[in-house]
Amino acid sequence: MQVIENDLIKEKVYIKKLKNGLTMMCIPKKNTSKKYIIFATNYGSMDNRFIIPGEKEETIVPDGVAHFLEHKLFEQENGRNSLDVLSSLGVNANAYTTNNHTAYLYECTNNFYEALDEFMNYVQSPYFTDENVEKEKGIIFQEIGMYDDQPDWQVYINALKALYVKNEVKIDPAGTVETVGKIDKDILYKCYNNFYKLANMVLVVSGDFEANSIFKEIEDRIIKEDSIEIAKKIFEKEPEEINQKIIKKNMDVNIPIFMLGIKCKPTNSINTLDNSHEQIRKHIAIDIILDVILGSGSKLYNELYDSGMIFSEFSAMYEYARDYSHILIQSQSYEYEKVVNRIKKEFEKFKNTGIDEVDFTRAKRKNYGIYVREFEDVENIGNNFVDSFFKGINPFDFIEESKNIDKEYVDKVLKEVFKEEKMILSVIANK
């Protein structure tokens, strides 16, 4: 068993990899009442093309399969729904599908081990029939319709479509009514059997646990006998240029919603001896830049808000995985074109002058505090370690790198990343 400790925040992660390939992690939080577990597979909405071990031909499945699997795993052969069973035990259970992974989880204060029996069983025991698959389609069609009517989701998914030419990150995780209609039980079993292999999964627990003890409890509940061979995912090479400069959709909104997107180089293009540390340093630098230029304490934000040009704080985030990397900035404005032009001018100004030393120090301390607070809640800890595991990074390194990052590096990232030709605009306007 491997133990990694961070001296600055006095936290440890215990890591054990089993012979079947499953990676388990435990981040103990002594004297806390909440317990959290998350079981995730490296399979998400992007993973629609792959080559199965032993085969030569490429397999292509419809958009939305990963999300469909997330829905269906709760339904068991004995007729019960595992989500209902877990709820009856008083635990808060859920699941989610992202671009690159699918996760199942629950949080509780009591009945953790009773819930663990059901939890480990349903994730490892799929049950699909023609009838229950067709029934689920109706539920997912309703969910797709719900997201189609949500302006915040539409401005986001359209931003990805504008940013990317070929990359599958622009696929809506739920798929479309057309693609979901093509899914059957054979497709579900094929994707489950190839991607829900333990060697392709990670399980993280956080709470008042002793690592060896909880790892044994988990091992005792493993029922799968898997090959450790994983299907090879196929991705088309994404060009560096953006797909389209602006994408606009009319919906029932009182105030137009806009999202400014910036296409960055994917993390797999970082060519350094320590790729993971460079990913983290770049992430921290972008967080600092966004806070200095667009944060609630920035000159630009207060100028735009006080003048009535924007009606909410900027939501600014950096998203990345192995094959994609982008920045998304969102707000609301009747004069969104003027606001976006002001943002672009502010980027150019800071690229020429560099970030002020005082502002840099303030933003650096603020973000360091945010990274530290991530380790105060067991749910944040679990989700953070799962997400980081699939990115090939260690969350503890954010603490270390945040302390050591300097202004010169941040100014360098500002010049390299915030380029006009890599920017797009997604708008949801009133009908």
Residues 38-46, mean pLDDT to the nearest whole number:
96
Which helix (H) or strand (E) segment holds residue 221: the answer is none
End-to-end CA distance of the chain: 59
Q: Tell me the C-alpha distance between 426 and 319, whole Å.
A: 16
CATH 3.30.830.10 is the classification of domain 2-233: yes
Whether the per-residue pLDDT at 431 is higher than 50: the answer is yes
pLDDT given at position 180: 95
User: What's the Cα-to-Cα distance from 160 to each of 147, 164, 318, 425, rounded to whole Å?
Assistant: 15, 6, 13, 10
pLDDT given at position 269: 57
Between 241-245, 338-342, 372-376, the lowest mean confidence (pLDDT) is in: 372-376
- Sign, CA dihedral 289-295-299-304, equals positive
330 neighbors 415 (Cβ within 8 angstroms): no
pLDDT given at position 273: 47
Decide if 2-233 and 246-430 have a common fold. yes
pLDDT given at position 78: 85
The pairing of strands 257-263 and 325-332 is: antiparallel
pLDDT given at position 274: 63
Both structure tokens of 420: 């006009």
Q: Tell me the C-alpha distance between 376 and 373, whole Å.
A: 5
Between 275 and 157, whose confidence is greater? 157
pLDDT given at position 400: 87
Q: Tell me the C-alpha distance between 386 and 269, whole Å.
A: 22
- Percent of the chain at pLDDT > 70 equals 98
The residues that bridge with 240 in the sheet, in sequence order, are: none
Whether the per-residue pLDDT at 70 is higher than 50: the answer is yes
When the pLDDT of each residue in the chain is averaged and rounded to a whole number, the result is 93
Q: Tell me the C-alpha distance between 264 and 320, whole Å.
A: 9
- Tell me the pLDDT band of 80, cut-offs 50, 70 and 90: confident
Give tens-digit pLDDT for 292-349.
999 998 999 999 999 999 988 899 999 998 889 999 999 999 999 999 999 999 999 9
Give tens-digit pLDDT for 92-104.
999 999 999 999 9
pTM exceeds 0.85 for this model:
yes
Domain boundaries 246-430, corresponding CATH code: 3.30.830.10
pLDDT given at position 270: 55
Q: Tell me the C-alpha distance between 260 and 155, whole Å.
A: 10
DSSP state of 238: P
Between 77-81, 141-145, 302-306, the lowest mean confidence (pLDDT) is in: 77-81
Residues 206-223, mean pLDDT to the nearest whole number:
95
Whether the per-residue pLDDT at 160 is higher than 90: the answer is yes
Among candidate residues 190, 148, 217, 176, the one with its CA nearest the CA of residue 43: 190
Q: What are phi and psi of 78, to 5 degrees?
A: -80, 5
Residues 16-35, mean pLDDT to the nearest whole number:
94
Whether the per-residue pLDDT at 357 is higher than 90: the answer is yes
Q: Where are the domains of the chain?
A: 2-233, 246-430
